[in-house]
Structure 1
């Protein structure tokens, strides 16, 4: 048997399957999707079996055998191997990058070399102490451990390996193994244990306590748990093991990220007529068993989550599995509680806040079939289910569904592809759908097909949407108010404090000040590695770059002219927190941003504190705008609505409208009426005026008019190619060569034409030009934007154009390809 293996070497030259002979003992075990260790270029590397064959094109003398099988059950299913081929082709990444994206980080094995004694007659020059120490070890020892113990003999070791006096063996070691816990069991004869308890003397009080507790409550228990419950020490429990009164074994214990939580079981709620219509449409599609995609446009508070829950229950009845994707920042304890409360242990949760061990054990729950619902951020789309029936993408407009490192996939596109493989239903849900999804859903359905667009236009119970007031901050400035809070927002906050109600304040900018400037000479503190200003953080008195992580102490005087007139401009969440404490003495502010939520379970703790009404104001970046549901929140304030409006990005208006609509939806979700106050220096902008009226259709009409004039999605598709190098001249030269190569290929295919030409198939190339952030991490950056429409395989054209630039001196220029980019910075 021949295994076709993709080896873990992410370079274009090795981006193909290599043939390996499968040893006879492994033939029954190796399958498509297996993870193996194989010899490659003098090392042993991890690889994935993507195919099996009876013959190889290589002569048998050149075939190397598979060194080891890393898993009893293949971690990847055959449909995921097929999916990796599609990912690699569409998103211009290597096949190994596509495969690695599908497994937990803990399974990305690395080579570990071990050393043992070889031919005792071979010359070696090693010390007697080293040889004796190796002889005492059971089995082989890590090379690192040997070098650490005998550092002065490193050169002799190398010679001893060459002469055969020492043997070296390489193996693949996972970054993390299953957690094993020392566990104690009662002996087979319970009566014997009871007699032993009576025989233990008064001096063995702690041993008596441990044995008595285990007899009373039954076993097994980990040593730590028994010690904590009985008051005995681990040493006392081990004494009982030594006496044969307890049995101790290592038991695999799953890392449960929710072991500290209890979830109250919930029952399905009665559906409104609108919810019922949507539920029936999803149920009919599930019954049909054919791939289907639908867009659920439901206002905030319209009850989308209950429709999701009941649709999942329907899917599980059919013995199929469900995947639920939510944006990372919306994966709150509230969301987990709803799904765990309805489906209990059948739910696995996958997101970045879990440790690698917890992610691995949740993934194993899915792979073993114990979990039937996976809820998580974008990577949960690769949950290893065998019979997917339903994929739900909540807040489908969120840019966090796009991966920013290779493979730069969009979870929405991957979901549609997996649905085709499994005959599954994809439900895209949002109060503010992306323009691409909305335009696709509005197309007339094919004959015999149901409409793709589903609508839920009212809140459950007929509760009104909150009123939205827009405050013109230019007027505030003219009237002498230099505070970051308008008089209207100040009064509203004061009223909530007096009534004991809660408020949410949004400022999509962390830190204290957005830049540091000298008022004498105009010097601005910038990052030495990136073309971007540093952000001042008050607590540590540091200036930080939010792109590369560079940090330095804030200067007391100007580094350029030594003036003392250093000032901090702009407003960040830290500064707002300080100002709230000054204006409202005794106010309880809970700040949520990247700085305060870096610790594990920090999200959960902060939101629980706010939910328990131990905070008056929840202040934060966009993470407070999504998925939160607190009954006493009656005021939402947006400090600066223009933060994202003026970015050099064609989606700036769309993102502003979405953020304002989403954060407005946090107010008045229950019995109390909500109010939203938006502060802006551009109050007449259509993104802000339409958000005030909760009028998505009016926003879409205006935004589509602009997109049509400028030739941007959904009227075309984009590919962004970014190049970077330390030398500007070489980068400019390579950029021009790449663009010329791509134009020549497009012309040969007969598709090179401006988009406004009216041709059904057209492709145009803009650039190369300097990127908006022209230098990052000491590398200059150029970019080409490719716009196209019609049935053009732009990814294939870009891959072909890149081929000449992966060899020789030009290889040092790094290329990054982003298909359907969400950000063009």
Structure 2
């Protein structure tokens, strides 16, 4: 084994084979194992629910000073090699949790250390809490705390040999050239032109060899010559990728205002109280759009940094624009690290290392930024806390708000939630005053700073427009509003939450709607590429709809395969036809923002235009601050209202209220025009009257009657398989076990004055088939405060696993489709 271990000691091995020895040879040559110096709890990096709990391994004397909590180690499990994460250590086996009855003789040793510690003991405890709370494997939860690119893994090759696979992403170094004390007094000969250029370039400070070569072509020989003479010195420093992002956006500045509004002062006072109390309390900043919540965050962070601690700021992915990042970096400089999906793997690694090294003390990013290795965390901020993007879509299906609240409790720091449309859960906890031992306080910010006021909202009734003979996608009020924007050379924002050209195609003769071959969803037509695309699995097909001569219905062969409904591409074409050529029309959706920095480039284009219309999906509704925008139009507000989801109304209200807040953020008043066929809906009325209670009172009554959050906890258990019968049978067994368990425990619930958890289903999902997999689910409604996850975990272990059948548990579920 000594030869094997030496492979792991190489500086940067690409692979380290772990070859099994013949049994006979092993028996002859293997000495009696040395007694362990200590013991470790190791979580195996094997993705299966059956191996979620840690296993005990011995720490050999040779590794006793190196194995720490957070280390990645090589172990043997059964007949295979495996990587694992150390989550606990102890001198005696009995001191490791859950290992009192184990025989020390049967404990296998740790064979090698694959990486230095990558997470702390507190991070391991948080991962264990997440594993229990969200019915996920502990290894999945621990991976959240690992650096981008992951840690070393053990994989099995085609030849059956287990090998160690190192992360492909590696740090990079820059070579810096600087003058020595003698160099400042050195005068090059008149004929030494290259030396003169180099000395002049270094007079203002160190410069990288890369920049010098860009300025003066190759300077390598000159640098070497002066280095030998002691005139310059060259040293290597870690390069931080992802820090050089620049923007021309006028609003990407975080300059502090002369004075704060009353609402801002009250919010800061509550945050400071929570910081000094150090109980992990939560402050909900409930401020209208444009009320200056970002300035509250910046001011609170300043106080935390002054106290020597660090801060984490979460924003929704779609709001993580150059504008947001620019504001934080303009206030805190290079101490800000940024995490989002548009960064390259190398950039993400360097931003993570900036945090781990203490170079960055403020992290701004999407939900994954919560797991950055900040030292002495002093403040967590979640902006737009109502956003569904804070819910993870794959295992572990955590909600960033809940994990942040647990972290705040453990680190004894405040959690600040900010929104113009707080979630029903956050408002309910503030009404109660406490939740899970923490105090929840709501602070209102009802006014905008300076002369800015909330925009006026007009409802354009599309039923009336149709009855008067209008067949345009734009109502008369919206067309007139756009004309006024053009006349005054202002800017407008148009929201339509459907990308593509048309939501679907339909045969006018037989009614056929082309659907995906792999999913039970209709295909969306994209005019630019003449393709039908599935937005569930990404498949696409070339198509020529009517009036193209090659248009054919896949069912009856008719030519009349027509475009139905509206997408952003179709609206973009209509705007080009309606508005003058000197009006910039910029479309932002998932199709136009695929490339790196595409968000930033489109927003810079909109910012620089003299007169422009920004058209897009929900990504334009949040995080944008353009004082020149005086008109916001919603092309069709009804899309989200009637979805089969109890949160449909809440999501629709959030989206409409947020996009309405893009108007009138400067000195000029703003106007919002909402086109709808449902003007009497509580969502539309609440937006029109700037009165949230019109919707929330109605919505809470509906949820209370039907037993939905915040009055219960909702769990969605999803099962999928290529075989429909296997999936249906498996979820039926889970439902049967849960019902039997809670039926037997019903007297205990009643004695405790609590309702008995309910099981609804199982039933087919709304999207019954996705990516060639049949999908069934069941819903569990449990009392608030009851730890339903333990019951579900026990039932899943009792059912066991079935080949070809997958299961996921979504605690506090948001997606029921």
Structure 1 residue aligned with 2:108: 63
- For residues 160-204 of structure 1, the C-alpha deviation after alignment (integer angstroms, 9 at most, x for no partner) is xxxxxxxx9944412311113455566896499866x6675xxxx
Contact 1:469–1:692, Cα closer than 8 Å, also in 2: yes
Match of 2:401 among 396, 406, 412: 412
SS at match of 1:461: coil
- Alignment partners' CA distance in 1, 2:777 and 2:434: 38
Quick one: which of 692, 714, 717 aligns to 1:718?
714
Partners of 1:588 and 1:676 lie apart in 2 by 20
Aligned to 2:494: 505
Distance (Å, rounded) in 2 between the aligned partners of 1:758 and 1:92: 25
Tell me by how many angstroms 1:714 deviates: 1.3
Structure 1: distance between partners of 2:747 and 2:333: 53
Note if contact 1:743-1:752 (Cα within 8 Å) is conserved in structure 2.
no
Asked whether 1:733 is paired with 2:729, we answer yes
Change (3 A) 1:244 1:517: farther
Q: Which among 134, 147, 154 is matched to residue 91 of structure 1? A: 134
Matched residues in 1 for 2:162 and 2:507: separation?
A: 61
- Secondary structure class of the residue paired with 1:561: coil
- What is the aligned counterpart of 2:573 among 541, 563, 578? 578
> Quick check: 1:39–1:67 contact (8 Å CA) kept in 2?
no
Matches within 5 A, 1:252-401: 252-260=238-246, 266-267=255-256, 269-401=258-390
CA contact 2:72–2:152 (8 Å) conserved in 1: no
The equivalent residue for 1:781 is 775
Deviation of the 1:805 alpha carbon: 3.3
What secondary structure is seen at the aligned counterpart in 2 of 1:718? strand
Identify if the C-alpha distance between structure 1 residues 733 and 267 changes in structure 2 by more than 3 Å, giving closer, same or farther. Answer: closer
Deviates more, 1:48-57 or 1:736-745: 48-57
Q: Which residue of 1 aligns with 2:69?
A: 32
Quote how far apart the aligned CAs of 1:598 are.
1.4
User: Runs of 5+ in structure 1 lacking a partner?
Assistant: 114-142, 144-153, 159-167
Q: CA 1:579–1:501 in 2, change beyond 3 Å: closer, same or farther? A: same
User: Structure 1 residues 573 and 216, CA, compared in 2 at 3 Å: closer, same or farther?
Assistant: same
Which of 100-109 and 288-297 deviates more?
100-109
Give the C-alpha shift of residue 694 in structure 1: 1.0
The 3 A distance-change label for structure 1 pair 782 and 388 is: same
1:696-716 CA deviation, whole Å, 9 max, x = no partner? 122111111111121111121
SS of alignment partner, residue 746 of structure 2: coil
Report the secondary structure of 2:769's partner residue: strand
Where structure 2 has 5 or more consecutive residues not aligned to the other structure, the ranges are: 1-37, 94-101, 545-550
Aligned counterpart, 2:805: 813
1:803 to partner: Cα distance = 1.3
C-alpha change, 1:401 and 1:444, in structure 2 (3 Å) is: closer
In the superposition, relative to structure 1, how do residues 404 and 450 fare at CA in structure 2: closer, same or farther (>3 Å)?
closer
Q: CA deviation at 1:374?
A: 1.4
Distance 1:750 1:518, change over 3 A: same
1:173 and 2:156 are equivalent in the alignment: no
Cα pair distance change 1:228/1:406, threshold 3 Å: same
Distance in 1 of aligned mates of 2:330 and 2:314: 17
Is 1:744 aligned to residue 787 of structure 2?
Answer: no
Task: Show the counterpart of 2:12.
Answer: none
* 1:221 alignment partner, one of 190, 204, 208: 208
Q: Secondary structure at the match of 1:557?
A: coil
- Give the whole-Å Cα distance in 2 for the aligned partners of 1:526 and 1:214: 63
Change (3 A) 1:291 1:739: same
Question: Are 1:567 and 2:562 matched, yes or no?
Answer: yes
| 1:768 Cα offset (Å) | 0.5
Map 1:365-764 to 2 at 5 A.
365-443=354-432, 452-461=441-450, 463-555=452-544, 556-586=551-581, 587-613=583-609, 616-750=612-746, 760-764=754-758
CA distance in 1, matches of 2:182, 2:800: 70
What does 1:760-775 align with in structure 2 at a 5 Å threshold? 760-775=754-769
**Residues 743 and 225 of structure 1: is their aligned pair in 2 closer, same or farther, counting only changes over 3 Å?**
same
C-alpha change, 1:495 and 1:762, in structure 2 (3 Å) is same
Aligned to 2:18: none
Is 2:786 the partner of 1:801? no
Shift of the 24–740 alpha-carbon distance from structure 1 to 2, 3 Å rule, reads same
What is the TM-score when the length of structure 2 is the normalising length? Answer: 0.87
Provide the rounded CA distance (Å) in 1 between the counterparts of 2:305 and 2:573: 50
Which residue in the other structure is 2:121 paired with?
A: 78
Cα distance change of structure 1 residues 652 and 769 upon mapping to structure 2, 3 Å threshold? same
Partner Cα separation in structure 1 for residue 58 and residue 438 of structure 2: 49
- Deviation, structure 1 residue 269: 3.8
Per-residue deviation, 1:605: 1.2
2: CA distance, partners of 1:529 / 1:100: 31
Contact 1:2 1:53 in 2 (8 A): yes
Q: Deviations over 1:577-599 (max 9, x none)?
A: 01111122413111111111111
Aligned mates of 1:450, 1:44 — CA distance in 2 = 47
Compute the TM-score of the two structures, normalised by the length of structure 1.
0.87
Q: Is the 8 A contact 2:72 2:115 kept in 1?
A: yes
Give the corresponding residue for 2:217: 232
Q: For the aligned residues, what is the CA RMSD? A: 2.9
Q: How far 1:365 moved relative to its partner?
A: 1.6
Taking the aligned partners of 1:646 and 1:758, their CA distance within structure 2 comes to: 38
CA drift of 1:451 comes to 6.7
C-alpha displacement at 1:449, in angstroms? 9.7
Give the CA deviation at 1:381: 1.5
Count of residues paired in the alignment: 760
Deviation for aligned residue 1:806: 2.9
**Is the 8 Å Cα contact of residues 257 and 354 (structure 1) preserved in structure 2?**
no
CA shift in 2, pair 1:248/1:700, >3 Å: same
For each residue in 1:477-534, what CA deviation from the matched residue of structure 2 results, as whole angstroms up to 9, or x when unmatched?
2222111111110111011011100000000111111001111222211110000011
* Range with bigger deviation, 815-824 or 284-293: 284-293
Which residue matches 1:110? 153
Alpha-carbon spacing, 1:293–1:215, altered in 2? closer, same or farther (3 Å): closer
Equivalent position of 1:165 in the other structure: none
8 Å CA contact 1:256–1:358 kept in 2: the answer is yes
**1:742-780 superposed Cα distances (whole Å, 9 cap, x missing partner):** 1112223327999xx995232110000000100011011
